[in-house]
Structure 1
Amino acid sequence: MSNDDITLTAGDAKATVQVANGGRVGGLRVGGVELLRQGERFGCFPMVPWCGRIRAGRFLDGATERQMPLNAPPHAIHGTARDGAWTLARHTADEAVLTYDLAEPWPYPARVTQVVALAPDALTLTMAVETYESSFPAQIGWHPWFNREIDGAPVEIGFAAEWQEERGEDHLPTGRRIDPRPGPWDDCFGMPGGVDVTLTWPERLELKVTSPEEWVVIYDEQDAAVCVEPQTGPPNGLNTLPRMVTPLEPLEATTTWSWRRLPAA
């Protein structure tokens, strides 16, 4: 099956899936309006087999230390799958299933499956990491770049987190939880009831990012875009809060973006 870009359609929503460019959603148009920042490194890419930064690119698997390439010196960032070509397993008019086989520099063989499902008022992303060999720690997440402005309306970010991970000078959590602070942010927040963040472009669109996971990184330090990143653990989580993938238990996660039009004043 071809690994060219494909377009999913549902109602007046269109999503472009860039199979060979990191398995990312390259664009999401609602009523002809693009919601995602455009560009080869933007859109929305899957973060796997880890999310955010790993301190010095090193993590422990039991007593074994593993070293990942320092692609954001002095750290390793956002996994390896966003840099690879995925494979399109199958697709319909409104759904695509992609796979990616983890390989060097990641030391554990495994398969990642991602499902992109479009509805007229929502986009749902689901991902799983499976292995039939040795167990290993991993993380799953998504990194969308939402346009800061839509038709001249600047975005407003709304959420209620139970805590914020205190961020050290190295941009990694210190291990201390603090009360959520005002932005701008490049910070991880805890939502034990599930991720629930609302982006509002006044008089244009309201979009909710939800996930059963309890971790979300919010990044709004760019002029062009804001990021709301649900994930299965905090940055540096392979060291501080590892989730294990085993032959009997894959690691799975999902997130949904749902939207509604807002009336003009």
Structure 2
Amino acid sequence: MTIEPITLTAGDAEATVLPGNGGRIGGLRVGGTELLRQGDRYGCFPMVPWCGRIREGRFRDGAVVHRMPLNAPPHAIHGTARDAAWRTARVTRDEAVLTHDLTDPWPYSGRVTQVVSLAEDALTLTMAVETYESSFPAQIGWHPWFNRTLDGGEGVRIDFAPAWQEERGEDHLPTGRRVDPLPGPWDDCFGMPGGVDVTLTWPGRLELKVTSPEEWVVVYDEQEAAVCVEPQTGPPDGLNSAPRLVTPLEPLEATTVWSWRRL
């Protein structure tokens, strides 16, 4: 199993993919400038087979209640795949294909495939969860940590126009009520029925758009070093509130594109 870091190149863009560290994107450089926060826990990691928090680590599938480890007590957070080594299935100059087989503590068998494709002005991430055995609920998402500043410049601006915000309870999970979007700082889930479309602008440096056909995005900007824009196939605790089913006939698939231009 090849778990060595992979470097993709396209024009003056360069991406580092880390199969051995949760299949995450370890870095994205444009013209030599690093866009992602560095460190083993950062970059951009895949959230699968669920996104965000599961309340008290418990989710129901029919009459069965499953319990996930409480890695963000009192909840379980961000899936299991980010803690595993992924396999490298194929690599070219500008594309890498990684796979991960779901296993304990996740109670179902399945395979996750992630495709990382780099162009001169965009990074495209595609993920699919498939099974040949029992159907199960799942979610797909990505958790990028974008640097708040680039080379000491002005702080990033976040622009988006969600249709609603999921009201956040004291336990950091949606209450089930939708409210009008509130001003930041945020650690919140938003609905964008026309598809995720969020613009990050580093004044005088770079504009980057995060887009996805999915309608859910979590925005997190409570840390000084970085901001997160997380497209996903459902809201936090979505295995309970808005499950998407993976079946032998129908995998769960999602994609996101980060496109950029110099300012």
TM-score, normalization by structure 2: 0.99
Alignment of 1:233-252 (within 5 A): 233-252=234-253
Alignment of 1:73-152 (within 5 A): 73-151=73-151, 152=153
Q: How far did residue 153 of structure 1 move?
A: 1.9
Alignment of 1:180-191 (within 5 A): 180-191=181-192
Decide which moves more: 151-160 or 71-80: 151-160
Alignment of 1:222-241 (within 5 A): 222-241=223-242
Instruction: Give the paired residue count.
Output: 262
In structure 1, C-alpha distance between the alignment counterparts of 2:155 and 2:222, rounded to whole Å: 14
Q: Could you tell me which residue of structure 1 aligns to residue 257 of structure 2?
A: 256
In structure 2, C-alpha distance between the alignment counterparts of 1:111 and 1:48, rounded to whole Å: 11
Aligned AA (1:142): W
Alignment of 1:163-202 (within 5 A): 163-202=164-203
Q: Could you tell me which residue of structure 1 aligns to residue 7 of structure 2?
A: 7
Amino-acid identity (%): 82
Aligned AA (1:110): G
Q: Could you tell me which residue of structure 2 aligns to residue 57 of structure 1?
A: 57
Q: How far did residue 185 of structure 1 move?
A: 0.1
Q: Could you tell me which residue of structure 1 aligns to residue 213 of structure 2?
A: 212
Gaps of 5+ in 2: none
In structure 1, C-alpha distance between the alignment counterparts of 2:67 and 2:40, rounded to whole Å: 27
Q: Could you tell me which residue of structure 1 aligns to residue 155 of structure 2?
A: 154
Indicate the SS of the match to 1:127: strand
Q: Which runs of 4+ in 1 moved over 4 A?
A: none
In structure 2, C-alpha distance between the alignment counterparts of 1:99 and 1:18, rounded to whole Å: 12
Indicate the SS of the match to 1:14: strand
In structure 2, C-alpha distance between the alignment counterparts of 1:3 and 1:80, rounded to whole Å: 17
Aligned AA (1:22): G
Q: How far did residue 3 of structure 1 move?
A: 1.6
Q: Could you tell me which residue of structure 2 aligns to residue 221 of structure 1?
A: 222
